[in-house]
């Protein structure tokens, strides 16, 4: 418990009268691949957006432990500040800078979390140039890591869904994150892309040492990847455990099939 990266305690998020997250508590250890699953509308993306500073829950606390080991309260922090603190993310429907090349997309990730330096940018001093070289090198490295080197100069809108995921992951990694949040990474990918994605995500954790938190519909991917799973339904955590435990949990089966196991058996 000591090496926790996320600690969510009693978080409640409401939109007017609609409760999106109801007293959710969960935690993630550093280096863990954690998955959050649940049927549509269970609050998975709300949880994600709360973790990245997009939504501000009304109750509860969310703590993120960054590089320096200092706990950081997330609620009230803007999305860009979370990104700078070391929380990178991908989006459910890939969001890229579509008129830019793959290379530029990743480069923006690599350079944006550093200081602005307008004057430096205007004058193009040696520090700026060194920075730029560093960003270029990092970008090349990351494109190689995710396997997009050949498509570095392609306009990102021309990439396949699978490649877009890779691009998003590379862009997220470019910000030097502690944790990478993946919002339904398998959506829209074909089976072979899916397999490659599983491998890539595992490599991100193993080789880059980045903790992974993913939301996913695709059970096959979750079961292949996750070390621990939380199940959300109607905004509450209904189960937690290893993939095998979760699969065997009758509450989870009910939530997914919409019937109780007894009823299902009687049919």
Partner 1 sequence: MRVWLTKAIVRRLLITQSIVAVIELMTGPAGSNSQPVYGFSHSFGESSSFFGLFRTQRWVTFFFVGLICWGVASFWISQGSRVRKSVHDALAFPRAATQKRPVRWGAMAVLLGFAIILPHVETAPFWQAAMVEQIAVYVLLAIGLNVVVGFAGLLDLGYVAFYAIGAYTTAWVTGALPTPALFHHALNPFFAIPVAIAIVMIAGIILGAPTLRLRGDYLAIVTLGFGEIITIFANNLYGITGGSLGSNQIPHPSIHLGPIKYIWGLAPVPYYYLALGFVVLFIIIFSLLERSRVGRAWTAIREDEVAAESVGINPLKYKVMAFAIGAASAGFAGVLTASQLIFIFPASFTLQFSINILVLVILGGMGSIAGVVFGAILIQTVTEFLFHSPPSGYQPQDLYIYLGALLVAMMIFRPSGLIPSKRRQREIRLSEAEHEGHLDEVLTGDDT
Q: Which token pair is 194?
A: 């899916």
Select from 203, 205, 241, 256 the least CA-distant residue to 38.
256
Q: Is the sign of the CA dihedral 207, 171, 198, 245 positive or negative?
A: positive
| CA–CA separation, 263 and 249 (whole Å) | 16
Residue 144's contacts (CB-CB under 8 Å, 6 or more residues apart) are none
Residues 39-78 that bind partner 1 (CB under 8 A): 52, 54, 78
- Applying CB under 8 A, which of residues 5, 11, 37, 88 lies at the interface with partner 1? 88
Size of the site for partner 1 (CB under 8 A): 42
Q: Which stretch binds partner 1 (CB under 8 A): 125-133, 206-214, 228-236, 252-260?
A: 125-133
Contact 211, 31 (CB under 8 A): yes
Least CB distance from residue 94 to partner 1, whole Å? 9
Any idea which residue has 């996750």 for tokens? 226
Specify the residue, 67 or 124, whose C-beta has the smaller distance to partner 1.
Answer: 124
- Does residue 111 bind partner 1 (CB under 8 A)? yes
Among positions 198-237, residues that touch partner 1 (CB under 8 A) are none
Q: With contact defined as beta carbons under 8 Å apart, do 97 and 156 qualify?
A: yes
Is position 112 an interface residue for partner 1 (rule: CB under 8 A)? Answer: yes
Alpha helix locations (H) across 209-242? Answer: 219-225
Q: Is 152 in the site for partner 1 (CB under 8 A)?
A: no
Contact between 190 and partner 1 by CB under 8 A: the answer reads no
Choose the binding region for partner 1 from 8-16, 56-64, 95-103, 191-199 (rule: CB under 8 A): 95-103
Q: Are 73 and 62 in contact (CB under 8 A)?
A: yes
Binding site for partner 1 (CB under 8 A): 52, 54, 78-81, 83-84, 88-89, 91, 95-100, 104, 107-109, 111-113, 116-118, 121-124, 128, 131-132, 135, 155, 157-158, 171-172, 174-175
């Amino acid at each position: 418990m000591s090496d926790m990266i996320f600690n969510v305690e009693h978080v409640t998020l409401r939109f007017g009268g609609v409760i999106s997250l109801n007293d959710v508590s969960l935690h993630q250890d550093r280096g863990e691949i954690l998955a959050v699953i649940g049927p549509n509308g269970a609050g998975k993306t709300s949880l994600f957006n709360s973790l990245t500073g997009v939504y501000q829950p009304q109750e509860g606390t969310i703590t993120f432990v960054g590089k320096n080991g200092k706990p950081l309260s997330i609620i009230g922090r803007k999305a860009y500040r979370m990104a700078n603190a070391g929380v990178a993310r991908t989006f459910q429907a890939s969001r890229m800078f579509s008129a830019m090349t793959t290379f530029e997309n990743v480069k923006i990730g690599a350079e944006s979390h550093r200081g602005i330096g307008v004057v430096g940018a205007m004058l193009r001093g040696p520090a700026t140039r060194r920075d730029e070289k560093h960003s270029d090198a990092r970008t090349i490295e990351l494109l190689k890591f995710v396997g997009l080197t050949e498509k570095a100069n392609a306009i990102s809108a021309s990439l396949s869904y699978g490649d877009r995921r890779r691009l998003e992951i590379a862009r997220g990694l470019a910000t030097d994150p502690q944790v990478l949040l993946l919002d339904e990474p398998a959506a829209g990918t074909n089976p072979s892309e899916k397999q490659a994605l599983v491998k890539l995500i595992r490599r991100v954790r193993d080789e880059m040492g980045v903790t992974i938190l993913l939301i996913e519909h695709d059970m096959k991917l979750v079961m292949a990847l996750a070390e621990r799973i939380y199940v959300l339904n109607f905004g509450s955590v209904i189960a937690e455990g290893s993939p095998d435990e979760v699969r065997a949990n009758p509450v989870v089966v009910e939530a997914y099939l919409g019937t109780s196991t007894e009823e299902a058996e009687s049919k």
